[in-house]
Amino acid sequence: MRRRIVAGNWKMNGSKDLSEELVGYVRSEAGSLDNGVEVVIIPPAIYIGNVLDHARGVVSVGIQNVGQWQSGAYTGEVSPDMAKDAGCRYVLVGHSERRQIFGETDELVAEKVSLVVSSGLAAIVCVGETLEERESGQAESVVAGQVRAGLASVSQEKWHNIVVAYEPVWAIGTGKTATSDDAQAMHAAIRGVLKDMGAPAEEISLLYGGSVKADNAAALFSEPDIDGGLIGGASLVAKEFMRICRSFPAAT
One-letter amino acid of 5? I
Distance of CA 116 to the CA centre of its chain: 14
168 SS3 class:
coil
Instruction: Outline where DSSP puts E strands in the chain.
Output: 4-9, 37-42, 60-63, 90-93, 122-127, 162-166, 206-209, 228-231
* 157 exposure class (CB count in 10 Å sphere: 0-12, 13-18, 19+): exposed
Catalytic one of 38, 54, 95, 187: 95
187 has catalytic annotation:
no
Cα–Cα distance measured from residue 252 to residue 245, given in angstroms and rounded to the nearest whole number:
16
Cα–Cα distance measured from residue 187 to residue 220, given in angstroms and rounded to the nearest whole number:
11
Decide if 30 contacts 59 (C-beta within 8 A): yes
Quick count: other Cβ atoms within 10 Å of Cβ 98?
18
| Residue 121 DSSP class | P
160 has catalytic annotation:
no
Return the active site residues. 95, 167
